Amino acid sequence: MKTTDIKSRTRTTLGLVGASLAVLIASACGGGGGGGLPGQAGASAPAQTDSGGAITVWVDPPRVPAAEAFKKANPDIETTINQIDGTVGSKALSQQFAQFNQAKQGWPDAIFFPSNDDIAWASGAQINYAADLTSQVPDLIKGYDPAVLAPCNIDGKIRCLRNDAAPDVFWYNQKFFSANGYTPPKTWEEYGTLAVKIAAEHPGKVSAFLGDAYAPDRYLWASGCPTNQRLSETSVMINLDDAKCQRAKKLVGEMVTGKAASNLGIFDADAAKAGKDLVMSPGALWWGDYLFNQTWKIDAGTMTATTPLTWQGESQPSTGNEGGGLWGVSSHITGKQLENTLKFATFVVSDPRWQVELSTGLPAYGPVQDDWIAKQKASKYFADNDATFAAFKQAATYVPGDHAYTLYNTGGIWTETVAKDLVAGKSFDEAWTTFGSELNNQAKSQGYEVKTTP
């Protein structure tokens, strides 16, 4: 997850790839749209095409340098780069791909999905855009930790490639802790207790941000709460009464009541001011450079990351994940066109000329992580560089793997319910109830059967 990825959570529409695309879409649309994804029932599968080698790639603004680096490194491959809207949660992209299916033309050869949730429709039976890469790039896949590539492993097939790893670590203000004699917590329960204690002893200090779309990832996903547990393409498990959801609810509720949590989201205009008062929080590894250094301008030598927290009664840490983008390859191409597209996909996920030299997020591809870390360490920004980067490398293995990307956006639902309710002065219990109801409603509206047990 890189800096402008983060901004895409609130980015307004940039316009998708120009007039030629609009003309194609118009010609593909025979009638009215309506909500959801247009069905493809009864449509014959389009024949795979081979351009002879020319490829077209779609990227959001942060990934334009990746595509340009590939083009520079491979001048013999005719590569057209189209910049697309980076708005997370938009349905426009899925609807356009459905229209491409109707027209049997128009798909990009490779794409960086603006939202990780996009892989749900891109790999689903209706759209079926994302190719199965399992046998196409087996050596490349071996370079990933299976936990990092888990979002792309759909029904045993690798349907995408991860760009960067974005697991949560546990951040704390080492200067503040040392000055006040506090010890960093080891468990989630200790974190909640200490957050309330610090808020009482140092009013205004912040130990949690609850107003952004990643907040449920930081707490619910980290707890293993089933909000996004995929049972099949058409069924999910959602159960906020599950013990793993209830412990997360208790933790967050106690911090809200104890005035240890901010209602702001980390991307809000006022978050930079509140960020100066942050003393600790779970947060993605990209918080270090993007939030603390570039955005909130926290002094060097202040913040440090450590291993994610453990829930009481469990033997190892458990943490959430905030982003970590996905690349997809078209299932509609073959021959030299496919060969060059796979060369592109391999470059953007594994080549140091992008992943080390230009990317600000920890590469998801394991073999280049150490080189990226060595480059980042040179800035000596963190209070304890060695501890911070060691935590970065470990954290991905502690992310619960049964959380899937789906057609409904849990983070968006959180911001429309919990975040708004807290700002309006409602209790966290009230906000939680509204969140649970809307989560179920939106899952069902997307066609899922919602179950409370596996």
Residue 418 sits in the same domain as residue 313: yes
Residue 350 sits in the same domain as residue 265: no
The pLDDT value recorded for residue 241 is 98
Instruction: Please name which of 440, 432, 436 lies closest in space to residue 254, comparing C-alpha atoms.
Output: 432
Residue 353 sits in the same domain as residue 414: no
Place of tokens 């319910």: 417
In a domain, 62, yes or no: yes
Using DSSP's 3-state secondary structure scheme, residue 280 falls into strand
Residue 84 sits in the same domain as residue 173: no
In a domain, 268, yes or no: yes
Residue 338 sits in the same domain as residue 250: no
End-to-end CA distance of the chain: 31
Residue 103 sits in the same domain as residue 155: yes
Residue 248 sits in the same domain as residue 394: yes
Domain holding 245, by residue range, is 168-321+389-451
One DSSP character per residue, 363-405 reads BSBGGGHHHHHHHHHTT--STTHHHHHHHHHHHGGGS-TT---
The pLDDT value recorded for residue 87 is 67
Place of tokens 């943490």: 319
In a domain, 90, yes or no: yes
In a domain, 30, yes or no: no
Residue 261 sits in the same domain as residue 393: yes
In a domain, 32, yes or no: no
Q: CA 274, CA 281: separation in Å to the nearest integer? A: 13
Place of tokens 């060969």: 339
In a domain, 27, yes or no: no
Residue 314 sits in the same domain as residue 331: no
Our measurement of the distance from residue 38's CA atom to the centroid of its chain's CA atoms, rounded to an integer in Å, reads 26
Q: What is the CATH number of the domain that holds 90?
A: 3.40.190.10
Whether 102 and 38 have beta carbons less than 8 Å apart is answered as yes
The pLDDT value recorded for residue 91 is 78
* Average pLDDT, 10 consecutive residues per value, the chain (454 residues): 40 36 36 37 71 97 96 98 80 92 97 95 96 98 95 96 97 98 98 98 98 97 98 97 98 98 96 96 96 96 98 98 96 98 98 95 96 94 97 95 94 96 98 98 98 96
Angle between helices 335-350 and 64-73 (to 10 degrees): 120
Residue 260 sits in the same domain as residue 147: no
Distinct helix (H) and strand (E) counts, the chain: 20, 15
Using DSSP's 3-state secondary structure scheme, residue 110 falls into strand
Residue 65 sits in the same domain as residue 138: yes
Residue 117 sits in the same domain as residue 256: no
In a domain, 22, yes or no: no
Check the CA dihedral 275-115-67-395 and report its sign. positive
In a domain, 438, yes or no: yes
Residues in contact with 80: Cβ distance below 8 Å, sequence separation at least 6, in sequence order: 54, 55, 56, 57
The total number of structural domains in the chain stands at 2
Q: CA 246, CA 191: separation in Å to the nearest integer? A: 16
